A and B are shown apart, each in its own frame.
Chain A
Amino acid sequence: MKPRQKRLAIVLGGLAALGIAASLILNAFQSNLVFFFTPTQVASGEAPKDRPFRIGGLVKEGSLQRNDITARFVVTDTAREIPVAYKGILPDLFSEGKGVVAQGTLGADGNFTASEVLAKHDENYMPPEAKAAVDQAHEASRTLKQ
């Protein structure tokens, strides 16, 4: 082997070793790297019980109730649901059927008291007319199936 090839081998070997090390580390820290837990994960006991954590999912359609400055809504991942109470101002993008991430604690009664609510939006960008057309198409295909 020429010195040049040897150095190339060291670089490539080093990168491969680093890659494997990084993937092992990331795998080990898997649970610490999640930003939020889904209601299903909370139900199966994956969320920490003794400290505040975040839950994430969709705001269930028709579940939002405002009482003075307290907002109550249900976070769902379509399988499980968690009722949430939050005192404060909701972000502009917060709405029913949209993504949400709430930080707080889970009470013994299964109610989640949030100290912070963040809106999570999706990666779709389109003009309002296109959105209306997409919704219409969805509606049409649903009525056809029934």
Chain B
Amino acid sequence: MSQRLINWFKFASPASFYPLAGTLWPWFAGLASVLCAVGLWISFFVAPTDFQQGEGYRIIFIHVPASWMSMFIYCVMAFWAAIGITFNTRLSGMMSSALAPTGALFAFLSLWTGALWGKPMWGAWWVWDARLTSELILFFLYIGYIALTSAIDDPRRADKAGAIVALVGVINVPIIYFSVKWWNTLHQGASVSMTKAPTMATTMLWGMLIMALAFWMYSIAIALYRVRAIILERERHATWVAELPEMQR
């Protein structure tokens, strides 16, 4: 173990992860602000008008990155859940809990901006097609995770129960992603995918990718910030917490 360049297991301890997260989150927050400013500027002032949707399509710059993020955060939660169950690390459950509200936020944003986009373009705020319904289920999974983990008083047991929800629910993520391919849906197919060239003008694509990166940075920053609060709350009786410089005041 000591031969490794970085001993990852050292950071599995809340006591050593707390200061690391404290150093890292302002950097990610700064990057998020800069990328968000650049992304929004491209989205609203540089990207051209669309040939069929006019200016209305610009909601894509929030809608698509938010949807990507909502799916990705759930995968990260499931990853931490698996690590937590396998290695019995305390930090994993804390990371999952720290990510859940942000994931729920992005799932909600995705549904909300989707409704605002659907009304003028499709003619309906909401339809029960496979893509919209599976994204709604994802939102409920986040809410369910938060409700379940906060309903159980013992944090270790709460983490275990939450981990099972996270792992079971992760099945939904590929269903959301491939729903537009597997079934007839009102929602259009993917404009950007691994297998084919994007079907968007280049400046539009850049705006969307920069916004996606900004959401990534925001999510990392807020998750690190939140996990610090969770660590303090759960370890409040530990000596190392009492010895923190910010506790001396």
A residues whose Cβ falls under 8 Å from a Cβ of B: 4, 7-8, 10-11, 14-15, 18-19, 22, 26, 30, 33-38, 56, 90-94, 98, 101, 116-131
Contact B52 A121, beta carbon cutoff 8 Å: yes
A130-B51 CB under 8 A given contacts A38-B184, A117-B123: yes
B51 touches A119 (CB 8 A): no
CB neighbours of A22 from chain B (8 A): 171, 175
Q: Which residues of A contact B51 (CB under 8 A)?
A: 126-128, 130-131
Tell me, yes or no, whether B127 is within 8 Å of chain A by CB. yes
Cα of A121 to Cα of B51 in the assembled complex, Å = 12
User: A-facing mask of B195-212, CB < 8 A → 1, else 0?
Assistant: 000011100100000000
Offer 14 A-B interface pairs, CB within 8 angstroms, sorted by A: A4-B86, A4-B87, A7-B88, A8-B82, A14-B167, A30-B183, A92-B121, A94-B123, A98-B52, A116-B123, A119-B122, A120-B186, A121-B121, A125-B199
Query: CB-CB < 8 A to A33: which residues of B?
Result: 130, 182-183
Where chain B touches its partner, the secondary structure class is: loop
Residue from the set A98, A121, A122 with the largest chain B CB neighbour count within 10 Å = A121
B127 touches A35 (CB 8 A): yes
Alpha-carbon gap, A129 to B48, bound state (A): 10
Q: Is the CB of A35 within 8 A of B49?
A: no
Task: Give the docked Cα–Cα distance between A130 and B167 (Å).
Answer: 44
Interface residue ranges of B57-94 to A (CB < 8 Å):
57, 60, 82, 85-88
Q: In the complex, A131→B229 CA distance in Å?
A: 51
Beta-carbon contact of A18 and B130 below 8 Å: no
Q: Judge whether A35 and B183 touch: CB under 8 Å.
A: yes
Closest beta carbon of chain B to A123's beta carbon, Å: 4
Separation of A50 and B208 alpha carbons in the complex (Å): 45
Q: B199 to chain A: closest CB distance in Å?
A: 5
Indicate whether A130 sits within 8 Å of B53 (C-beta atoms), given known contacts A11-B82, A118-B127, A123-B190.
Answer: no
Distance from A133 Cβ to chain B, minimum over Cβ atoms (Å): 11
CA distance A9 to B48 in the complex (A): 51
Query: Smallest Cβ distance from B86 to chain A, in angstroms?
Result: 4
Residues of chain B lying within 8 A (CB to CB) of residue A92? 120-121, 123
A92 to B199, CA, bound (A): 22
Complex partner residue of B191 from A4, A26, A125, CB under 8 angstroms: A125
Q: In whole Å, how far is B164's beta carbon from the nearest beta carbon of chain A? A: 9
Is A123 a contact partner of B191 (Cβ separation < 8 A)? yes
In the bound complex, residues from chain A placing their C-beta under 8 Å from that of B87 are 4
Q: How far is the CA of A33 from the CA of B171 in the complex (A)?
A: 17
A15's nearest neighbour on chain B, judged by CB, is B167
User: Judging by beta carbons under 8 Å apart, are A124 and B175 in contact?
Assistant: no
Interface set, chain B 143-176, CB cutoff 8 A to A:
167-168, 170-171, 175
A120:B122 contact, CB within 8 angstroms: yes
How many whole Å from B135's CB to the nearest CB in chain A?
Answer: 14
Task: For the complex, give the distance between the alpha carbons of A18 and B167 in Å.
Answer: 10
- Knowing A14-B167, A19-B171, A92-B120 touch, does A122 contact B186 (C-beta < 8 A)? no
Query: Would you call B30 an interface residue if the criterion is a C-beta within 8 Å of the partner chain's C-beta atoms?
Result: no
Query: Provided the pairs A91-B121, A93-B53, A118-B122 are in contact, do residues A124 and B184 lie with their beta carbons within 8 angstroms?
Result: no
List, in ascending order, chain B residues with CB within 8 A of A56's CB: 184, 186
B3 at the interface (CB under 8 A from A): no
Q: Which residue of B lies closest to A41 (CB)?
A: B184
B191 in contact with A124 (CB, 8 Å): yes
> Given the complex, which residues of A lie within 8 Å of B113, measured CB to CB?
none
B50 at the A/B interface (Cβ < 8 Å)? yes
Are B167's CB and A118's CB within 8 A? no
**B86 x A11 contact (CB < 8 A):** yes
Given A34-B184, A124-B191, A131-B51; A11-B127 close (CB under 8 Å): no
